[in-house]
Structure 1
Amino acid sequence: MNDALDQLEIRIDHVFRQRALLERAVTHPSLLQDRPDLVESNQRLEFLGDAVLQLILTETLFELFPGDREGVLSKRRSALANGVFLARLAREIGLERALQLGASEEATGGRARAGALEDAFEAMIGAIFLDSNFETTRRIVLGLYGPLPERLAIVEDVENPKGRLQERVQPTHGNTALRYEVLGVQGEDHAREYEVAVFLHDRQLGSGRGSSKKQAEEAAARAGLAALPEE
């Protein structure tokens, strides 16, 4: 584990003064089932890191796009902070190699699960914030993102499938023609998998799965987009 954490510190350009914070950030809740000596997983740090990340992105987008209204800024922040994108950032720094998982979670592919990577990435941000200060955390986070306009150019269309599907059907069917329905939920509390279908009136366009209801809805929307003929 120490080698993985050492490499992670190099990739994020931050050496922890309180190494225990980083260790906690990569501790998946499933490990507590196998290690009764552990008191806490990364869930509280994830809560903190999410708030810190939101503030960093909000402040930076506010400065970068002075002409944008609130709604546009909110959409851009959402594109940069959703679970799929955070999991991508986590993979870019090899965060999955440092994750500490319970045996059952490891055996079922939890190391590659987007939800686990998203949570650990946010927990890592929370750990950096507690280990340093806001300015240091801001520098590290923006370094991991790189130039935000370039990231946005790539992700805004790709990462908003629900919005794109709504835009496709609205001219012909109106604003309320789409609905999303949860078909099923599987797994334990720390490893939920949702299945959601999207309907155009009473016609099912597609379905998708994800570690959260939001991710499953986005997957269903992508399937719906693929099912609709191009105008």
Structure 2
Amino acid sequence: MPKHNTPKDPKILEKKLNYTFKDKKLLLEALTHKSCKMAYNNERLEFLGDAVLDLLVGEFLFQKFPNAKEGELSKLRACIVNEKGFMKLAKSLDLGAFLYISQSEENNKGRQKASILSNAFEALMGAIYLESELTYLKDIVLELLEQNYAKIDLASLFTDYKTALQELTQAMYGEIPIYTLMGESGPDHQKSFEIALSVNGVEYARAKGSSKKDAQQKSAQIAYEKLSALYQNHHTNNRKEKL
């Protein structure tokens, strides 16, 4: 165990989870980042946790929105099952304080990094699944989701595509969308604005609206629908490749 790190006692984390590990080595593995250069790290558990969380988040949304369509549920899941979404859950547990990371990562504020936190969260959930399968894990995950995503709803998501798209593009590319005014037309009392939306140098949408804000929302909706489908396909293909 690296001496230069002083993470919190994992017993505190177990108390937060209301779960006590039978195999303490498994817990230690879930909390150990690869930067430590130990004989073990949390990458394999991260892979397992990712798959299980995909299922449990899907069930959470399925139960929470009994009238939602498949496409709507997929979009909601994409807002949670990503780096930013899992970082939020990790932070609710103060997970960063329990991690074993290298001195270099410590110096670079690794305990606050989205990638490290989200991966560690997946690993932790994977470790609990190995010990208990879904018996305890389901309750733990559903409670965390209720605490952190109780206010998630279809109306707010689909009326504010700009926010939803920004969260998605940050998870996918680490970038935010760029909105460019391409032109204006019509008389002053009936103006029409055309907005082009690009991410990472690629244009994904172009739309017109009665105001710049309206045109931005319309272009954000088009881009969101394209990218959320792309994100889900990429997520599924990655899992298949790992298998």
Using the size of structure 1 for normalisation, the TM-score is 0.67
Q: 1:22 is matched with which residue?
A: 27
Q: 1:72 is matched with which residue?
A: 72
Contact 1:17–1:131 (CA under 8 A) maintained in structure 2: yes
Q: 2:62 is matched with which residue?
A: 62
2:183 counterpart of 1:178:
no
Kindly provide the amino acid, as one letter, of the partner of residue 141 in structure 2: V
Contact 1:27–1:99 (CA under 8 A) maintained in structure 2: yes
Contact 1:26–1:100 (CA under 8 A) maintained in structure 2: yes
Aligned 1:28-43 pairs, distance under 5 A: 28-32=33-37, 38-43=38-43
In our comparison, the structure showing a higher alpha carbon Rg is 2
* Unaligned residue ranges in structure 1 (runs of 5+): 33-37, 183-196, 202-216, 218-231
Kindly provide the amino acid, as one letter, of the partner of residue 9 in structure 1: E
* Secondary structure at the counterpart of residue 152 of structure 1: coil
Structure 1 residue 140 displacement after superposition = 0.6
* Unaligned residue ranges in structure 2 (runs of 5+): 1-5, 169-175, 182-191, 207-226, 228-243
Q: 1:45 is matched with which residue?
A: 45
Structure 1 residue 99 displacement after superposition = 0.7
CA offsets 1:56-92 (integer angstroms, 9 cap, x no match): 0112222322221111001111112221121122111
Structure 1 residue 136 displacement after superposition = 1.4
Partners in 2 of 1:127 and 1:173 — Cα distance? 50
Residue 160 of structure 1: which of 160, 165, 169 is its match?
165
Q: 2:141 is matched with which residue?
A: 141
Partners in 2 of 1:162 and 1:97 — Cα distance? 25
Partners in 2 of 1:97 and 1:65 — Cα distance? 34
Contact 2:178–2:198 (CA under 8 A) maintained in structure 1: no
Using the size of structure 2 for normalisation, the TM-score is 0.64
Partners in 2 of 1:138 and 1:161 — Cα distance? 29
Structure 1 residue 141 displacement after superposition = 0.6
CA offsets 1:12-43 (integer angstroms, 9 cap, x no match): 110001111111111111001xxxxx322111
Kindly provide the amino acid, as one letter, of the partner of residue 12 in structure 1: L
Partners in 2 of 1:85 and 1:149 — Cα distance? 10
Q: How many residues were matched structurally?
A: 181
* Secondary structure at the counterpart of residue 96 of structure 1: helix
2:13 counterpart of 1:8:
yes
Kindly provide the amino acid, as one letter, of the partner of residue 199 in structure 2: Y
Aligned 1:213-228 pairs, distance under 5 A: none
Contact 1:28–1:100 (CA under 8 A) maintained in structure 2: yes
Q: 1:121 to 1:168 in 2, by over 3 A?
A: farther
Kindly provide the amino acid, as one letter, of the partner of residue 89 in structure 1: L
